[in-house]
């Protein structure tokens, strides 16, 4: 290379560096309108509860994105699991429908032809063809690839080739915040039609007591601002779920359990709930509705609440958060007479959030004597006076949160003579 060529090369390199620097230094354009909301359906079995949730709540979202297939690698060979999606139900919703393809970790090498790209492309094409056979146009294909930060250049080869093969369907990537720090991410993002920034469940929880947050709103805000510096439209994935992390006696991490069949942990294991705070998520929605990077197009919730969920929000919680308002919390502790002299004590949640820890209760009466009584659903009954008992929450019995709209009987007492007056019930 002669001297003139070296000078020209240096000028070009400095010019490219200046363009990159100014891209990250100039003010980010802002948007000041309510965002659109979408939802993932991530269940692998579409039972009656899943289909009912879609039928009932799809109208509240701009689009629905179900998990359609998953590819795992065993000794370098792809193994594909398809989800039996109810395409007719999705079509009847009248909403835009995307399909998500989950791809497990792949060590490489990455190439723009041959296996494993052919397998991924064949699965994607099969999903789109099946939807088309049901008269359902697919608005976009979501690639949820568990890609290492160091492999983003290789991933770009796949994405570029897939966009060529699936020319009529936009390809959207799930991206992690750590990718934003990689030089290769800019080219990867440019190779796709947009990306979903996942800001939840990113690190292994530590062994502390009490609950922990699944999504840190401070970090989420910072990551969104960082993501906006790339010249690509994006959405942010916010969580609605919780999970349980298990630790052994020496604080080693044993594993985690989320929705689905509960895992059996050793008797000496300590469980810690990693949860999503509805108020923190509401504040994010509210703040982004007022001012956000213009390239942030909306929120996609992970995931659509289903009635049988145990560790996911209930629908009233998500509905309130999407409206950028604080979900109401309200419960009542009442009694009713099942038979003359037989009182049943009931907790009712008529708010919009779960009641995770139900209160104990004190029952007082006059002009009658206690004949018999008991607590249930995690409660014990203890006599604390001549005309007084307590229904105490048994902390050694795992309790299920009281969901919005649910009622739960916590005990009963039989009196003689019937229906003492007065009878009062108060929480402890």
- Answer yes or no: are the C-beta atoms of 99 and 142 closer than 8 Å: yes
Same domain as 287, residue 391: no
Q: At 387, is the secondary structure helix, strand, or coil?
A: coil
| Mode of pairing for the β-strands spanning 342-349 and 407-416 | antiparallel
Residue 20 resides in a domain: no
Helices 217-227, 278-290: inter-axial angle, 10-degree rounding: 30
Same domain as 383, residue 279: no
Residue 288 resides in a domain: yes
pTM for this prediction: 0.87
Phi, psi of 48 (to 5 degrees): -60, -35
Q: What confidence score (pLDDT) does residue 6 get?
A: 47
Q: What confidence score (pLDDT) does residue 143 get?
A: 98
Q: What confidence score (pLDDT) does residue 189 get?
A: 97
Residue 190 resides in a domain: yes
How long, in residues, is the chain?
428
Neighbouring residues of 419: CB distance < 8 A, sequence distance ≥ 6? 337, 340, 341, 368
In whole angstroms, what separates CA 50 from the centre of its chain?
15
Q: Please name the residue that has the structure tokens 């993501």.
A: 227
Question: CA–CA separation, 282 vs 328, rounded Å?
Answer: 12
Q: What confidence score (pLDDT) does residue 1 get?
A: 47
Same domain as 129, residue 72: yes
Same domain as 410, residue 310: no
Q: Which of 293, 322, 351 is the last residue of a domain?
A: 322
pLDDT tens string, the chain, 428 residues long: the values are 444 444 444 443 344 444 344 445 567 899 999 999 999 999 999 999 999 999 999 999 999 999 999 999 988 789 999 999 999 999 999 999 999 999 999 998 999 999 899 999 999 999 999 999 999 999 999 999 999 999 999 999 999 999 999 989 999 999 999 999 999 999 999 999 999 999 997 777 776 655 578 999 999 999 999 999 998 999 999 999 998 888 888 888 888 888 877 788 888 888 888 889 999 999 999 999 999 999 999 999 999 999 999 899 999 999 999 999 999 999 999 999 999 999 999 999 999 999 887 889 999 999 999 999 999 999 999 999 989 999 999 877 766 789 999 999 999 999 998 888 899 999 98
Q: Per-residue b/e over 331-363, b at no fewer than 16 CB within 10 Å?
A: bebebeeeeebbbebebbbebbbbbeebebbbb
Q: Which of 322, 339, 371 is the last residue of a domain?
A: 322
Q: Which of 256, 291, 322 is the last residue of a domain?
A: 322
Same domain as 298, residue 366: no
Strand locations in 104-177, DSSP E? 140-145, 171-175
Q: How many domains does the chain have?
A: 2
Question: CA–CA separation, 160 vs 175, rounded Å?
Answer: 16
Same domain as 234, residue 99: yes
- Answer yes or no: are the C-beta atoms of 204 and 253 closer than 8 Å: yes
| Mode of pairing for the β-strands spanning 36-41 and 292-293 | unpaired
Same domain as 200, residue 83: yes
Single out the residue of 396, 346, 387, 390 nearest to residue 369, CA to CA: 387
Single out the residue of 108, 121, 103, 106 nearest to residue 162, CA to CA: 121
Residue 9 resides in a domain: no
Same domain as 374, residue 280: no
Residue 405 resides in a domain: yes
- Answer yes or no: are the C-beta atoms of 274 and 244 closer than 8 Å: yes
Domain range for 364? 331-427
Same domain as 164, residue 94: yes
Residue 10 resides in a domain: no
Give DSSP secondary structure letters for 210-243. S-EESS-HHHHHHHHHHHTTSSS-EEEEEE-B-E
Phi, psi of 395 (to 5 degrees): -70, -15
CA dist 372 to 57, 205, 383, 386, 411, Å?
A: 45, 46, 11, 14, 11
Same domain as 266, residue 361: no
Residue 423 resides in a domain: yes
DSSP for residue 62: S
Q: Is the link from the previous residue into 116 a cis peptide, with omega within 30 of 0? A: yes
Residue 353, domain CATH: 2.60.40.2230
Question: CA–CA separation, 245 vs 253, rounded Å?
Answer: 8
Same domain as 120, residue 187: yes
Residue 187, domain CATH: 3.20.20.80
Single out the residue of 350, 376, 348, 344 nearest to residue 363, CA to CA: 344
Residue 217 resides in a domain: yes
Q: What confidence score (pLDDT) does residue 209 get?
A: 57
- Answer yes or no: are the C-beta atoms of 208 and 272 closer than 8 Å: yes
Q: What confidence score (pLDDT) does residue 25 get?
A: 55
Same domain as 389, residue 282: no
């Amino acid at each position: 290379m002669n001297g003139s060529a070296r000078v020209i090369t240096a000028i070009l390199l400095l010019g490219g560096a200046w363009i990159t620097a100014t891209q990250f230094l100039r003010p980010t354009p802002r948007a000041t309108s309510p965002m659109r909301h979408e939802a993932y359906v991530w269940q692998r079995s579409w039972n009656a509860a899943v289909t009912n949730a879609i039928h009932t709540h799809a109208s509240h979202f701009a689009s629905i994105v179900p998990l359609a297939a998953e590819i795992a690698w065993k000794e370098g060979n792809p193994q594909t699991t398809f989800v039996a999606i109810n395409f007719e139900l999705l079509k009847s919703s009248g909403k835009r429908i995307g399909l998500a393809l989950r791809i497990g970790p792949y060590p490489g090498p990455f190439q723009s032809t041959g296996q494993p790209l052919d397998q991924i492309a064949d699965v994607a094409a099969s999903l789109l063809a099946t939807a088309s056979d049901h008269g359902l146009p697919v608005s976009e294909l979501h690639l949820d690839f568990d890609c290492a930060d160091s492999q983003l250049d290789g991933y770009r080869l796949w994405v570029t080739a897939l966009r060529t093969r699936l020319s009529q369907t936009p390809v959207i990537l799930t991206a992690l915040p750590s990718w934003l720090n990689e030089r290769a991410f800019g080219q990867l993002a440019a190779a796709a039609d947009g990306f979903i920034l996942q800001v939840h469940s990113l690190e292994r929880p530590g062994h502390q007591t009490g609950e922990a947050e699944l999504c840190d709103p401070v970090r989420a805000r910072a990551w969104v601002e960082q993501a906006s510096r790339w010249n690509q439209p994006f959405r942010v994935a916010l969580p609605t779920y919780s999970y349980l992390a298990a630790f052994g006696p020496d604080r080693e991490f044993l594993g985690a359990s989320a929705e689905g069949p509960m895992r059996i942990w050793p008797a000496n294991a300590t469980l810690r709930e990693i949860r999503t705070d509805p108020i923190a998520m509401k504040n994010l929605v509210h703040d982004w509705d007022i001012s956000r990077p213009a390239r942030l197009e909306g929120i996609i919730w992970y995931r659509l609440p289903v009635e049988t969920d145990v560790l996911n929000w209930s629908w009233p919680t998500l509905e309130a958060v999407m409206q950028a308002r604080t979900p109401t919390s309200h419960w009542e502790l009442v009694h009713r007479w099942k038979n003359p002299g037989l009182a049943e004590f009931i907790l009712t949640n008529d708010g919009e959030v779960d009641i995770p820890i139900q209160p104990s209760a004190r029952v007082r009466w006059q002009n009658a004597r206690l004949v018999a009584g008991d607590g249930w659903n995690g409660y014990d009954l203890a006599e604390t006076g001549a005309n007084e008992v307590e229904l105490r929450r048994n902390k050694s019995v795992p309790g299920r949160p009281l969901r919005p709209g649910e009622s739960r009987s916590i005990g009963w007492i039989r009196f003689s003579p019937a229906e003492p007056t007065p009878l009062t019930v108060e929480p402890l």
